[in-house]
Structure 1
């Protein structure tokens, strides 16, 4: 097992933000001070777009409920990390301001107001969805009386499966106040002892192993929340007492981790840090709107919370658990199942991934094309007697990972296997520690990378004995090696046997394992430092074209755009006349369409059935986009300071003509043309749904019904033609 050292600190200090082409002026001091949106408020706008899908009448009911659940999960993480971080700044009296000039306190004030509005919208949508589901035969028990059959079943269920796991705890000076876990919920009971009339307060914490919702047998499908079930059967918990009142509550805790530079043993440090996170400072208390004021005051006192850290709920205290109802067997209330295609290019070679890649570079677009091809690539490497070495980065691999199984099989077959396991993958730290242990036990050389930087690049490298020498095959991805998220996230997998890419991949792994700076790369730009430098070089080239009166254009697809220096570079390019179209799914701090600043910049966000996750950059290179000469890149990095300066990332150029067409003329263009799932950002920070128009276009439907270019192989010439997309005012055209 190899752990990170402080060599990374030296490397970090030696890198500075590049200035790019010296012929281009980059003075951002002339730009207006109010040129950025607030990052946190922009994120809340993103979650409002997610929540809006729960109201989308074009979606089946259970899918709308899924979006409501996702919005709740998103909000939990935002509170546990971003809001907790700002609150810590206020406590420590840190004077740092955001890029839009707000102090931590000012941001918290604006955030709390926005969250209050967002939570209110969640409950309005919840009420509407519950009524609509009830009409479709899916019922949620809330305030109504139980029918006899329901009461009988729930009594038996409670006695057999719930009561044994519960531990009532008295709340009085003789008992310490119980610890409430992060995302934990419970019920406070006010009781009177029948024997002597003495008042007693009791707390019942909900064990996390219990299901959040319980389904009653039979039809119609009837569900009840676990807290509601416990409250209704509480008399069985407190014989000899009369229940006066009860109130359900839930807490969120600070869940961010601070990495100490002097951590000598990362494994031990993270195991300890995970335990500390579970006991982090409480940052939010959610209670029922009918919660007893005295009980609320007691909880606030014990948890040391101010009034602005309390939310009163008009429904479930957490929307996350509603995902259980989505599992109901009602295909008529869900999206029609979709089975991804397996690339025909690989099938033409009898499923031999290496033969297909050896013939020509290939890009696979997930989830429209199966992630199985990535797993097969590794499993074939593990079983192939000619494969001598495998190197693999692992950021998030999931709980049941075929990728991990392939690496273990390869090591047990005697191959040299190196796995870079990132311990700092937020909320996956514990899972990654588990995989690291499993891999090491199988004989895999486990590397933890750098203390200061996360290894976020998605790279796999296989060295194979062929003829009298060796050939290397590489996979570069925009997403994680996670088979489950690959069914929902749209990502690109680029396979190549081009020696230039493979030599660069070797330099990348040497950088991570041996701290050998990757100088002289032929194809890849590697961060920290390299991705920013390459993007600046390409932006500056377009700026120079514009100033020379030539066509100049930039297209980009990102999950987030927050880095102020990168945004300023785009502003300066816009001022020079570069036409810039951005597809930014989540946070965007750039203000589009501002006179004299960003007249030529448009920003849209695509939110739909699949989560847009691939990162793409395209530069016109002296002509309008799209064109065959355009410089096209895919990346693991977003437009954020952490990706450009504090993570190991890669920017991958696309040179093969078929793959170039697929990424630029299919994936990128289809996202720009979408009118059914798109939101347009205006200069005030508001997003507006794009009007579908007379020729609506849905990027996800297009890829569900049309195969990709590079994955088709010979079928591209003799099979059904893939509709060609073209830019046209008012929407998409196909030819």
Structure 2
């Protein structure tokens, strides 16, 4: 049984939420806190986050196959880290750039520290895999080796090989007549040293393992056990059918990671065509990491390294499985008992009260949906209903990431084909989704939509949608502001917020932003919205300063923030300054954090926690006590698309939306943020050294889990005629 779900949670009380979370500050005598030492390195902080992800694979409170999924996620994360962040640092170091990061480390110095930590992380991943495999075997899920197969297995596997694998394999000899082939990013190959049996003549060859076939080949069940064999082991069993007359003298597997950052010409006349060319260049980027299986023959290893232009520092030799991201294939649908208990997202009661009419539900009052606990289908319904509504005249939509068969794009195309005015801002620079976004833009253009691509230098990361509807002879703008992407698949596992409103001022703000994106005319007179890269950061700095002034005047002063990453130096320095002036600051930072918490004289009033659990924390929330402390009805509350990073605040189009509706404010402050701050079961707390430790659980005490709380309790603003009085929340103070 899943231990996390044993027993019943105890009711949350105001004391639970408001107990002091600030431990005694510590001194860091060896670090100059007046200089770069006041920041923690961004890359090492990210590696620390991925260690937390990996440690969830060891968490006995988590179901077994979900632990395996966490192992896969940690491997995928590390791959992307190398193809983007390490690749960038490597390019800087090779060009002789010695400009230090905010923490004072040069690119070359960072690469040394990254390499040391990443090698430890990859070794630990292999140890975790062995532990999980032993536990899985006890549950009847077994990965066999070639020596474990009997004659019946071999007959079955030969049939699989000949019908499902052999036709798509391409053996590649390596000799003067056959140059070393190109191996694509994440490509996995077998390197073979072969000997011809009739004359002992040797042959070196490569055998790319096709990604179109599952990495784990299923064998017939045996006494209820699910049995698998690795694809490369299957290929090696029958390699003689690919090289008749040869025997294998040596072999090893290797996997390639390449620089995957995009370079786009600034003066590109056709942006879409330029991105299509850039995507082809990415595929051929330089190798940044070569991972090989242990025991490789030195001569054969040297050939592969030489041909791929890989140095010893870029070579990782593993005792175990190469390409751990593929273990997610063993999360079997047939073993739901080893996964999280099933969860069905809720349809908000208010939408049900209006028979599914999103416009009627929004007209009643502003509504904030908390995904994935409230279904993302409501966002899709909002646009699909708009597409079919004869009173809707226009739809405007930003698209940063979305799914391949996107119902959002379906609705926009349907609306355009029906004669409605549809404008879609498609961000081509959404990393690793560029190709998908190009396809979607072509499809939208064919349907008659106006497709724009925003700015060449700045990504458009804001999440906005507007629907203009004719009602009683007037035009009413319905607006959706989100913290996450318009992506129905990731919306099932990412925690995000969707704010729906027909407030005229918020509609005007959204329309001005769309006009800016399509016409480049700076939006003046925004009423409830702040955008980067123009005034979002300066506004945040002003609000932090205002909270510090409240503290100095003897008034309650609190800041609560929830973001994915925090590294922007000016913002961090502003938080340090506010802490030193008496502001109590609690930060929920899922991933990268360049701020040092709990340092005497610097940040003793700052606490940082990270939540890693069933769902991926993704929403961005900012709350300022506004002279009344938190929680309070007088607080200033915002949701945002922006993390507190240089790229988001200085080089992207992002939004910060102020929430004024009392029910929505209560939902954010007293339900969402309060539950995040109260979480113990999935929380990690940062120390002054930048490292995170699990939040301690007192023996015999219930470990509150915010994900479970949100699954079991509806959101305040989504309640219908039943009212919100029975929804757990933290009572606001009277002011």
User: Partners of 1:591 and 1:727 in 2: how far apart?
Assistant: 30
Q: Is the 8 A contact 1:187 1:249 kept in 2?
A: yes
User: Partners of 2:151 and 2:430 in 1: how far apart?
Assistant: 49
- Give the RMSD, CA atoms, in angstroms: 1.4
Q: Which residue of 2 aligns with 1:251?
A: 256
Q: Which residue of 2 aligns with 1:390?
A: 395
User: Partners of 1:271 and 1:568 in 2: how far apart?
Assistant: 41
User: Partners of 2:673 and 2:147 in 1: how far apart?
Assistant: 51
Q: Is the 8 A contact 1:231 1:246 kept in 2?
A: no
Deviation at 1:327, TM superposition (A): 3.2
Secondary structure of the corresponding residue to residue 124 of structure 1: helix
Deviation at 1:724, TM superposition (A): 2.7
1:188 counterpart = 2:191: yes
Deviation at 1:727, TM superposition (A): 11
Deviation at 1:339, TM superposition (A): 0.1
- Show structure 1 runs of 5+ residues with no match: 1-28, 729-735
1:626 counterpart = 2:670: no
1:140 counterpart = 2:143: yes
C-alpha offsets along residues 614-672 of structure 1, whole Å, 9 cap, x if unaligned? 00000000022111100000000000011011111000111000000001111111111
C-alpha offsets along residues 179-224 of structure 1, whole Å, 9 cap, x if unaligned? 1110001111111111211111111112232222222233411122
- Which of 121, 131, 145 is residue 134 of structure 2 equivalent to? 131
Change (3 A) 1:682 1:30: closer
C-alpha offsets along residues 468-522 of structure 1, whole Å, 9 cap, x if unaligned? 1110000000000000000000000000000000000010001100001011100
Secondary structure of the corresponding residue to residue 424 of structure 1: coil
Deviation at 1:30, TM superposition (A): 9.0
User: Partners of 1:521 and 1:698 in 2: how far apart?
Assistant: 38
Secondary structure of the corresponding residue to residue 191 of structure 2: strand
Secondary structure of the corresponding residue to residue 418 of structure 1: strand
Secondary structure of the corresponding residue to residue 363 of structure 1: strand
Q: Which residue of 1 aligns with 2:457?
A: 452
Runs of 4+ that moved beyond 6 A: none
Q: Which residue of 2 aligns with 1:507?
A: 512
Q: Which residue of 2 aligns with 1:701?
A: 708
Deviation at 1:726, TM superposition (A): 6.9
Secondary structure of the corresponding residue to residue 299 of structure 2: helix
User: Partners of 1:656 and 1:363 in 2: how far apart?
Assistant: 10
Change (3 A) 1:557 1:403: same
Task: Map 1:311-350 to 2 at 5 A.
Answer: 311-350=316-355
Q: Is the 8 A contact 2:550 2:556 kept in 1?
A: yes
User: Partners of 1:479 and 1:85 in 2: how far apart?
Assistant: 26
Q: Which residue of 1 aligns with 2:182?
A: 179
- Show structure 2 runs of 5+ residues with no match: 1-31
470-479 vs 173-182, greater mean Cα deviation: 173-182
Deviation at 1:347, TM superposition (A): 1.0
Change (3 A) 1:293 1:727: farther
Change (3 A) 1:405 1:122: same
- Which of 141, 147, 152 is residue 155 of structure 2 equivalent to? 152
Q: Which residue of 2 aligns with 1:712?
A: 719
User: Partners of 2:391 and 2:271 in 1: how far apart?
Assistant: 35
1:560 counterpart = 2:561: no
1:239 counterpart = 2:244: yes
1:275 counterpart = 2:276: no
- Which of 577, 582, 590 is residue 577 of structure 1 equivalent to? 582
Secondary structure of the corresponding residue to residue 715 of structure 1: coil
Q: Which residue of 2 aligns with 1:16?
A: none
1:40 counterpart = 2:43: yes
1:424 counterpart = 2:457: no
- How many residue pairs get aligned? The number is 698
User: Partners of 1:189 and 1:726 in 2: how far apart?
Assistant: 68
User: Partners of 2:402 and 2:294 in 1: how far apart?
Assistant: 40
687-696 vs 566-575, greater mean Cα deviation: 687-696
Q: Is the 8 A contact 1:31 1:597 kept in 2?
A: no
- Which of 633, 640, 644 is residue 639 of structure 1 equivalent to? 644
